[in-house]
Amino acid sequence: MWERLGKWPVVRQLTGRDRLGRGAAAQSPSHVGLRPRTADADRVAGTVCPYCAVGCAQKAYVRDEKIVQIEGDPDSPISRGRLCPKGSASLQLVTGPQRLDKVRYRAPYSTEWTDLDLHQAMEMIADRVVAARERGWQDVDGKGRRLNRTVGLAALGGATLDNEENYLLKKLFTAMGAIQIENQARI
Amino acid sequence: MIIGSNMAEAHPVGFQWVMEAKGHGARVIHVDPRFTRTSAVADTYVPIRAGSDIAFLGGVIHHVLDNDLDFREYVAAYTNASFLVGEDFADTEDLDGLFSGYDPATGTYSRDSWYYAGTRPPGEPDGSRAKAFSEPLQAGASGAGIDGAADAERDPTLQHPRCVYQILKRHFARYTPEMVERVCGVPQEQFLDLCRAWTANSNRERTTALVYSVGWTQHSVGAQYIRTGAILQLLLGNVGRPGGGVFALRGHASIQGSTDIPTLFNLLPGYLAMPDVEHTDLDAWIADQRSAGHKGYGYDVDAYLVSLLKEYFGDAATPENGFGFDWLPRIDGDHGTYRTVMDMIDGKVSGYFVLGQNPAVGSAHGKLQRLGLANLDWLVVRDLNEIETATFWKDSPEIETGEIVPERCRTEVFLMPAASHVEKEGTFTQTQRMLQWRTKAVEPTGDRRSELWFTHHLGRLVRERLADSTEPRDVPVQRLAWDYATEGEGPWAEPSADDVLRRINGYDLSTGELLPGYLGLKADGSTSCGCWIYSGVYADGVNQAARRTPHTEQGPYDAEWGWTWPMNRRVLYNRASADPEGRPWSERKKLVWWDADAGEWTGHDVPDFPARIPPGHVAPQGSTGPEALCGDDPFIMQPDGKAWLFAPHGLLDGPLPTHYEPHESPVRNPLYGQQGNPTRKVYGRPDNPSNPSPPESGGQMFPYVLTAARLTEHHTAGGMSRQLPYLAELQPALFVEVSPELARERGLAHLGDAHVVTSRTAVQARVVVTDRLAPLRIEGRVIHQVWLPYHFGHTGLVSGDVVNDLFGVVEDSNVFIQESKVTTCDVRPGPRPRGQELLALMEQVRAAAGITVETGTRISTSHGVPHTEESP
């Protein structure tokens, strides 16, 4: 009885050191047992927020090969651990149910998506690239000057991608003669 | 100074440093059409009419020059203020808003009269070819050319009537506080208070930082907005010095990177010019980048390009075949994203890749974008989520109007899941040029893959298909060095981003060693380097971008966190932080200085100058490149070593910024007969109508100024935010902000529905009546401004009309960025009509305003000739 009474928060507040009731006096047994998701992580990966260009450093906590939390990295001289609402929501961006998981395919004139195997999609796209490149090919202009290019295919995107990815994109498209290669930096 | 940016809301975590500075006593001034959270914490908020920033900043320049407040020693030594311009130059003051050399037939300038006396334009001064493919953007590596810059006549006293300083003074003579009030709606006393604050805080002891964002770039005269800011900062000695500078706050995680290593049509990595039809061989390209007496590091573009070609083509790139230069495609016109979309509508494009971008919502004139998508043979969209660009065939606004019918739309669509930022490794380059390496946290699951994987394997499959071809056009694909290391087993293994970054850094091919930086690049084929400005990111065999020394363990420049191009240098042109004799301008603003004992430049930052060229050095006659730099030439990427107050070359719409009204404006230009930018790119097409602007009639149909911007809780076109519960809940609906006065004028109820109308479409939004948007008095009449966030679309947890549908396509001629920060509109109460009724409303609005395909295309006001950009 006295033992139970002694656990009553009011008693703990009046008799313990936490007289303002803002710490230990207000804790419940389940509360005491709470541990942050980050505590049980198997490892932490240093990463960078994918939204705006400030470049806030993030720490991605991994348990059982799944991301369990993403937080700001206090070591960063740019962000000092802070994240904005978007950066703070990046756990949802990465793990949320809105994420696409399978290739979706819409045939010409179709009214719905269907499934398509990833490697088959890659083979189909490669076929189409070769054909579109050929269809739009231009060897020379009206004055006989070298053009060496295709206007049959275009690309847009890069500002959300890695430098290494942009590098390969520009290199491949340039070698194929594709010139209409653009990204958000133009916008 | 924060202008054209809502830093607190769009770059909140970066804004902590503004608040930190404020805590240390800095005064923060925010200039913006709308009172935002940035304004709320600034010391001073100055409301301004959207589209009038050049008049505003020109007024500050006028104030500086009229009162002799410029940092004279800095200006005289480090800028081209003392250079004399040729006698044939005529200013906008002489020609009512045009400079000398204007050709109304092409809508461009012949720029030969803009040169320094005693110099010549290198090659062709005609602007029409340059305008075709955005030549100004291509001058990033080499600088804009001037033949004989070292021989330019100069007047160190700045008194000669043809010297740049005096030309500048005359050019801005009418940009008085009274004029600023008339054009911008800023009261004179408030304007003068800002002028006094800016100038009083710019001297030996103090510097002022200038911050802008896309509120400056997305204008038909956007490049000149930034020029105006740069001129002002140069006049006040705020460039190359700690605490100074002009800061572009960019909006995507690696949009700086995608400019440096460009997926852009007219650039190769490191701001090298994409070859055009005039470049018959490698030597012709090199000659075109250089000018006679060319100073600085821009002269060495041959080494940068040859090293790139060695990375592209490996052993197949030899001196005999010009290192494969002739395998590169040639551009001869506008192949920018908006031109390409019109070409899609016109049936010229078969296939389209959209990679982590959502143009159906995020690009101007969304309807044009979606109609382009609907006229392709195939479309590949790679994204984290199902976005509007992938679903245009089933749920775009044009389905409701019947303009796209799924059963009649032939576009084959592949929607492929992308790996997220924690499921792949690689570098982002943030807005201050810092590369930061991300380690991979987990493997992507299902069909999710990186773009590195996608591109690598697409290349592999295409190369397999063309391996046996004997067609000459397939040679570059066959010879491409496409042998990146992979991680994992099998034909579909993930390529190594680390290997790609090493090759971007570059190798000495004779030793196989990684290069320490771009100074080691050679034009003889003995080095390879994917991007010269990134060379050094793998110096000493260490991934410098992956360094993570905590800020608590290093000094104020934090040189061991990530890696900043070039050469881990934090402040560009930092030679200017010391006086001509090499001494810091003041102890307080000490950054880089000449150490006479050691005989080299030293300081807190990596010096941005040849290490051993002393301050008093005079370059030998006839030298070129870095050797041609004198000791007081801090601007080492400029062909004359000086910062340009006046741009004799490199810009298409004038050597000096001039106030032009936006393409769509409710007012006649108060300063000149010339109404808008006379070189802007207009596309007179039935599917791209313009709202009339003075002196055209019909503009009263669209009496209000419209601007659009971001919210903190959403990102760009919403593809990474409208799908997330937290963010969707925080900002659940599209709204339009209007002033109480406008609400009364139009009968708009707070939290009721309204629709915003332009000649393109009508967009529905909930009304927020707020004094955040105060009406302004312009030219004696009240001008209302309205504002909307542009993140909404029709997929995701929250949806709303696409605000970008309100804008048409009109572009800055220098860089081809669209004017989507200002237009005119009407605001009407109630929901918009839907389906066919929306089309009927638009027909009615256009008829009432008298809009034809020629509306807005008379870009030269005095000539009055319709003009439109041709398809290449």
- Where are the extended beta strands (E) located within B340-393? 351-355, 378-383
Residue in chain B closest to A144 (alpha carbons) equals: B277
In this complex, do A182 and B439 lie within 8 Å of one another by their Cβ atoms? no
Q: How far off is chain B from A37, nearest CA to CA, in Å?
A: 16
Q: Provide, as residue numbers in chain A, all residues whose Cβ is less than 8 Å from the Cβ of B443.
A: 65
Q: Which of residues 23-62 of A touch B (CB under 8 A)?
A: 43, 45-57, 60, 62
**Residue A72 pairs with which residues in a beta bridge?**
A58
Grouping H, G, I as helix, E, B as strand and the rest as coil, residue A139 is strand
Residue B626 CB partners (closer than 8 Å, separation 6+): B296, B297, B299, B300, B610, B636
Tell whether B350 is within 8 A of chain A (Cβ).
yes
How far apart (Å, rounded) are the C-alpha atoms in residues B179 and B182?
5
Question: What is the strand order of the sheet B210-212 is part of?
Answer: B44-47, B29-32, B2-3, B210-212, B246-248
Closest by CA to A184, choosing from B804, B256, B812, is: B256
Chain A within 8 Å of B281 (Cβ-Cβ)?
Answer: no
Q: What is the pLDDT of residues B588-617, one digit of tens each?
A: 999 999 999 999 999 999 999 999 999 999
Asked if B344 has any chain A CB less than 8 Å from its own CB, the reply is yes
Name residues 300-339 of chain B within 8 A of A (Cβ): 312, 326-332, 335-337
**Yes or no, beta carbons of B415 and A118 under 8 Å apart:** no
Contacts with A, B 490-519, CB within 8 Å:
492, 495, 497, 500-501, 504
The predicted pLDDT at position A137 comes to 98
**Rounded to an integer, what distance in angstroms lies between the CA atom of residue B342 and that of residue B809?**
10
| Chains A & B: contacts with CB separation below 8 Å | 484
Q: B361, B802 in Cβ contact below 8 A?
A: yes
Q: Hey, is the C-beta of A172 within 8 angstroms of any chain B C-beta?
A: yes
pLDDT value for B125: 63
Instruction: Give the whole-angstrom CA distance, residue B735 versus residue B714.
Output: 13
The answer, for B699 touching chain A at a CB cutoff of 8 Å, is no
Q: How far away is chain A from the Cα of B86, in angstroms, using its nearest Cα?
A: 34
Contact (Cβ atoms closer than 8 angstroms) between residue B533 and residue B564:
no
Please check whether residue B14 is in contact with residue B748, taking contact to mean a CB–CB distance below 8 angstroms. Answer: no
State mean pLDDT over A119-147: 97
CB contact under 8 A, B447 and A145: no
Given an 8 Å threshold on Cβ–Cβ distance, is A182 in contact with B263?
yes
Mutate to test the interface with B, among A166, A173, A176, A181 (most CBs of B within 10 A): A166
Chain B: residue whose CA lies nearest to A112: B394
User: A17 in contact with B at a CB cutoff of 8 Å?
Assistant: no
Q: Give the model confidence (pLDDT) of A90-118 as tens digits.
A: 999 999 999 999 999 999 999 999 999 99
Per the listing, tokens 């009038």 go with: B52
Mark yes or no for CB contact B278/A145 under 8 Å. Answer: yes
Interface test with A, best of B285, B453, B455, B731 (most A CBs within 10 A): B455
**Among A43, A70, A170, beta carbon nearest to B261:** A170
| Cα B827 from Cα B747, distance rounded (Å) | 10
Cβ distance B455 to A169 less than 8 Å, yes or no, reads yes
Structure tokens at B677: 């930018």
Who among B274, B280, B436 is closest to A55 (CB)? B436
Give the residue from B482, B493, B479 showing the smallest Cα distance to B449.
B493
What confidence score (pLDDT) does residue A26 get?
85
Q: Tell me how far CA of residue B5 lies from CA of B47, B74, B216, in angstroms.
A: 13, 28, 8
* Mutant choice from B249, B258, B458 vs A, greatest count of A C-beta within 10 A: B258
C-alpha distances in Å from residue A11, one per residue of A17, B199, B521, B583: 11, 64, 76, 70
Contact residues, chain A, for B562 at CB < 8 Å: 55
- Record: contact A102-B447, CB cut-off 8 A: yes
Paired strand residues for B625:
B295
CB within 8 Å: B352 and A154: yes
Q: Cβ contact (<8 Å) for A186 and B426?
A: no
Where does the pLDDT of residue A1 fall: very low under 50, low under 70, confident under 90, or very high at 90 and above?
Answer: low
All residue ranges of chain B with pLDDT < 70 are 124-125
Helical pair B164-171 and B53-66, crossing angle rounded to 10 deg: 120
Would you call A53 and B408 a contact, using CB atoms and an 8 Å cutoff?
no
Closest approach of chain A CAs to the CA of B231, in angstroms?
A: 23
Query: Would you call B337 and A179 a contact, using CB atoms and an 8 Å cutoff?
Result: no
Q: Measure B363 CA to nearest chain A CA, in Å.
A: 7
Q: Among residues 65-104 of chain A, which lie with CB inside 8 Å of chain B? A: 65-67, 70, 74-80, 82-90, 92-94, 96, 98-104
pLDDT above 90 for A6? no
Instruction: Tokens for B842, please give them.
Output: 């638009």
B625 touches chain A (CB under 8 A): no
Tokens of B435: 């590369």
- Chain A touched by B269 (CB under 8 Å): yes
B386/A100 touch (CB, cutoff 8 Å), yes or no: yes
Query: A62 vs B548: CB contact, 8 Å cut-off?
Result: no
Q: Which of A66, A127, A184 should one mutate to test binding to chain B, selecting the residue with the greatest count of B CBs within 10 A? A: A184
Tell me the three state secondary structure of residue B267: strand
Tokens of residue B765, six digits: 């939004």
Q: Which residues pair with A180 in a beta bridge?
A: A154
Are A155 and B551 in contact (CB < 8 Å)? no
User: What is the model's pLDDT at position A34?
Assistant: 86
| B7 inside 8 A of chain A by CB | no
Question: Which of B423, B786, B434 is closest to A67 using CA atoms?
Answer: B423
Contacts of B714 in chain A (CB under 8 A): 86
Using the Cβ of A179 and the Cβ atoms of chain B, whether some distance falls under 8 Å is answered with yes
DSSP character string of A95-116: HSTTS--S-EEE-TT-SS-EE-
pLDDT value, residue B854: 97
Of B256, B406, B720, the CB nearest to A111: B406
Buried b (16+ CB within 10 A) or exposed e, B379-406: bbbbbbbbbbbbbbbbbbbbbebeebeb
Q: Mean of the pLDDT values across residues A28-48?
A: 90
Q: Nearest-CA residue of chain B relative to A127?
A: B462
